[in-house]
Amino acid sequence: MLKKKAATALLLGGTLGLAAWLGRRQLLGHALRLPPPRYTVGVEQGVITAMPDGITLVADHYYPQVAGDFPTILRRTPYGRNASLSPIGLFTAFCAQLFAERGYHVLVQDVRGRGESEGNFAPFENETADGRATLDWLPRQPWFNGALGLWGESYNGYTQWAVTPDAPAYLKALVPAISSSLGYSYAYSPDGVFYLYGLLNWMTMLEASKQMGRWLLVTLRGKTRPNAERMVAAFAHLPVGETDEVALGWPVPYYRNWLAHPDASDPYWQAMDYRATLPELAAPVHLVGGWYDIFLTEMLRDYTALQAAGRNPYLTIGPWTHGLDATFESLRQALPWFATHLKGEPAALRPHPVRYYVMGADEWREADSWPPSTQATPYFLHSSRQLTTATPEPLAPPDVYRYNPADPTPSLGGPLITPPNGAMDNRTLEVRPDVLSYTSAPLAEDVEIIGAVAATLYVQSSLAETDFFVRLCDVFPDGRSINICDGLQRIRPGDGDVQPDGSIRIQVDMAQTAMRFCAEHRIRIQVSSGAHPRFNRNLGTSEPVATATQMRDARLAVYHDQAHPSLVLLPVAE
């Protein structure tokens, strides 16, 4: 009897397992809230596209296994087009299957110098020429029906922007997620501060997957440390121009090239800036971002440029970091977007162009444009580290702290490209002597902010060059201090509005957000002079970032009296 029961259970388990395996894509599609699949999918691997200079790029072509007329989706990626090339390639192939099951040809192409494509990988530099050559190749394929959409996140979003100048008429729709149309924004902040943490992590991932044999050889010879220890050493190393070799064991030409071009107006970066041509883009765009994404600010500037040109872009922003949550959302949003613009099914499109998530309220809202109407409300810094809507006292001494670049103020959470990122408890940061915190009384009622946050500070520094980092936090009744948004301003000689007493007035843009501070919570502002290694630390010497090694301490003062009304301006929802 027991043997019979065991055999029955085994048979039932096997049957259920087989059913789950056969229906895995339907189950996954349902879990991702996608429309049901309609077709089985075939894959043609190793499709070759020749570039004008003779280099060949390699792609995989996914297609519905049925006769019919289907539009095309293109994804150009440096992360590997399938599972044989990288773990990210496994995810890419999974998404390509999902699109193809719903009635699309999908072409996933390794960009130049990555995966199995020939040539040298120089990030951003070849994406326009190679992308346009690929677009020119598509109409010669018998399966191409004259309708093309572009989809992808992060660097894969940038490859979409790169082909937009003078785009062909058959480019019908784009869905760039957690990305920007500016190549410069992938290496530097809007104020020109080098993204040390994100770039070293991104570069390490790319180089490790590309040169796995060399990586293993270096490791076996004992010339590299375990990963965590190696990265900590790289973040601490000076000069910054050598950190690639500390992190990887060998120099990386494109990393050093970025450091050699720190100015956004440099012709090197101007050749990779596509924002100026966005008003000419006829193809409709759906932007997907996250409140804790490193490219949020520049993505919203892309949205503003398109909106100002009357292009009616769609926008979706959730409580996400730079990762899979935003990518899966872009997949969900891409299906109705492509159904509308590639297949002519307008009923698939949501009625309101803007959809955003209000943190704290934990709810989604829709609108016709971004940002919604708000009331700019100043919250002033006061003595005793208070934050209130009342104007400051006539006389109040400034708060003073010292910044030591040899022990830089660390970054904690926020819009980092990899974990630990996003919302985190900041109490360990706020007890440091180089961090000032200004906190409101417990709120009598909810305060909701939606839009751009900015701080105006009256400050003084013992050095001509220094940084000011300002962060907005939500303080819970139990004391947790959760970061919402932030920004860093690098002060160089001559910057700021000089006051009669020698202090200067500066503005620190702190990104955009949608947040409800609930009743009994408190609003907090942090002021410090760094967030290392997210931003490359300011050494206080005005030397070039790539070669600087000397460090100088800075004595900083933050004023908050009637003559120096330091404040944070919050966009309070009406």
CA atoms within 13 A on the CB side of 374: 23
> Cα torsion for 156, 158, 162, 166, to the nearest 10°?
100
Q: Which helix (H) or strand (E) holds 279?
A: none
| Cβ(49)–Cβ(133) below 8 Å | yes
Which has more pLDDT, 459 or 30? Answer: 459
Q: Read off the pLDDT band of 212 (50, 70, 90).
A: very low
Which has more pLDDT, 237 or 25? Answer: 237
Average pLDDT over every residue of 553-574: 97
Cα separation of 379 and 434, whole Å? 22
CATH at residue 334:
3.40.50.1820
User: Is residue 267, in this structure, part of any structural domain at all?
Assistant: no
Domain count, the chain: 4
CATH at residue 405:
2.60.120.260
- The DSSP annotation for 360-404 comes to TTTEEEEESSSSPPEEEEEEEE-GGGBEESSPPPSS-PPEEEEE-
User: Is residue 120, in this structure, part of any structural domain at all?
Assistant: yes
Q: How far is CA 304 from the centre of its chain?
A: 17
Q: Read off the pLDDT band of 25 (50, 70, 90).
A: low
Tens-place pLDDT, residues 385-425 = 999 999 999 999 999 999 999 999 999 999 998 889 999 99
pLDDT greater than 70 at residue 16: no
pLDDT greater than 70 at residue 456: yes
Check whether residue 143 and residue 203 sit in a common domain: no
Check whether residue 180 and residue 148 sit in a common domain: yes
User: Is residue 264, in this structure, part of any structural domain at all?
Assistant: no
Kindly report the pTM of this predicted structure: 0.92
pLDDT given for residue 211 in this prediction: 52
User: Is residue 480, in this structure, part of any structural domain at all?
Assistant: yes
Tens-place pLDDT, residues 313-331 = 999 999 999 999 999 999 9
Which has more pLDDT, 28 or 401? Answer: 401
pLDDT given for residue 210 in this prediction: 57
pLDDT given for residue 139 in this prediction: 98
Distances (CA, A) of 525 to 69, 209, 303, 436: 56, 41, 28, 8
Cα separation of 94 and 31, whole Å? 14
Q: Read off the pLDDT band of 204 (50, 70, 90).
A: confident
Burial class (CB in 10 A: 0-12, 13-18, 19+), 175: buried
DSSP state of 489: E
Close Cβ partners of 321 (under 8 Å, ≥ 6 residues apart): 290, 292, 293, 415, 416, 419, 421, 422
Tens-place pLDDT, residues 83-123 = 888 888 899 999 999 999 999 999 999 999 999 999 999 99
Tens-place pLDDT, residues 117-160 = 999 999 999 999 999 999 999 999 999 999 999 999 999 999 99
pLDDT given for residue 209 in this prediction: 66
Q: Read off the pLDDT band of 3 (50, 70, 90).
A: very low
Check whether residue 317 and residue 442 sit in a common domain: no
Cα separation of 307 and 370, whole Å? 9
| Cβ(478)–Cβ(266) below 8 Å | no
Check whether residue 425 and residue 319 sit in a common domain: no
Check whether residue 400 and residue 381 sit in a common domain: yes
Check whether residue 362 and residue 252 sit in a common domain: no
Backbone torsions φ then ψ of 228, nearest 5 degrees: -60, -45
Residue that has been written with the tokens 């572009």 in this structure? 150
User: Is residue 302, in this structure, part of any structural domain at all?
Assistant: yes
Q: Read off the pLDDT band of 26 (50, 70, 90).
A: low
pLDDT greater than 80 at residue 80: yes
| Cβ(540)–Cβ(463) below 8 Å | yes
Residue that has been written with the tokens 């009342």 in this structure? 390
Cα separation of 469 and 457, whole Å? 11
Q: Read off the pLDDT band of 34 (50, 70, 90).
A: confident
Check whether residue 437 and residue 567 sit in a common domain: yes
What distance, in Å, lies between the first and last C-alpha atoms of the chain? 71
pLDDT given for residue 219 in this prediction: 41
Q: What six digits make up the tokens of 109?
A: 């192409």
| Cβ(118)–Cβ(112) below 8 Å | yes
pLDDT greater than 50 at residue 217: no
Rg, the chain, Cα only: 26
pLDDT given for residue 574 in this prediction: 81
pLDDT greater than 60 at residue 15: no
Q: Read off the pLDDT band of 23 (50, 70, 90).
A: low
pLDDT greater than 90 at residue 523: yes
pLDDT given for residue 366 in this prediction: 97
Check whether residue 285 and residue 306 sit in a common domain: yes
DSSP state of 225: -
| Structural domain of 326 | 32-186+275-367
Tens-place pLDDT, residues 245-262 = 999 989 999 999 999 999
User: Is residue 90, in this structure, part of any structural domain at all?
Assistant: yes
pLDDT greater than 60 at residue 213: no
Domain edge (last residue) among 340, 367, 394: 367
Domain edge (last residue) among 330, 352, 367: 367
Burial class (CB in 10 A: 0-12, 13-18, 19+), 154: buried
Check whether residue 175 and residue 36 sit in a common domain: yes
Q: Three-class SS of residue 120? A: coil
| Cβ(517)–Cβ(447) below 8 Å | yes
pLDDT given for residue 88 in this prediction: 86
Check whether residue 178 and residue 43 sit in a common domain: yes
User: Is residue 191, in this structure, part of any structural domain at all?
Assistant: no
Summary count for the chain: helices (H), strands (E): 14, 22
Check whether residue 26 and residue 36 sit in a common domain: no
Q: How far is CA 173 from the centre of its chain?
A: 21
| Cβ(418)–Cβ(198) below 8 Å | yes
Average pLDDT over every residue of 446-452: 98
Domain edge (last residue) among 227, 259, 291: 259
Q: How far is CA 235 from the centre of its chain?
A: 20
Q: What is the average pLDDT score of the chain? A: 92
Helical spans, DSSP H, in 162-276: 196-210, 212-220, 227-236, 243-248, 253-259, 267-270
| Bridge-based pairing state of the strands 354-358 and 314-321 | parallel
User: Is residue 112, in this structure, part of any structural domain at all?
Assistant: yes
pLDDT greater than 80 at residue 5: no
Check whether residue 144 and residue 282 sit in a common domain: yes
